[in-house]
Amino acid sequence: MSLPAATVRPVPEISRFRGIVIAMFHNEGRHIGRPYFHAVYAGNDVSIDIETLAVLIGRLTRKQLRLVARWARLHQGDDVPPLPWSPVV
In this predicted model, what pLDDT tens digit does every residue of 30-67 receive, in sequence order? 666 778 889 999 989 999 888 888 999 999 999 999 99
Q: Does a structural domain hold residue 34?
A: yes
Note down the domain range covering 9: 5-72
Q: Does a structural domain hold residue 77?
A: no
Number of domains observed in the structure of the chain: 1
Residue 7: count of CB within 10 angstroms of its CB: 10
For 69-82, write each residue's pLDDT tens digit. Answer: 999 988 877 665 55
Name 62's Cβ contacts closer than 8 Å, sequence gap at least 6. Answer: none
Q: Does a structural domain hold residue 43?
A: yes
CA distance 76 to 89: 22
| pTM of the model as a whole | 0.69
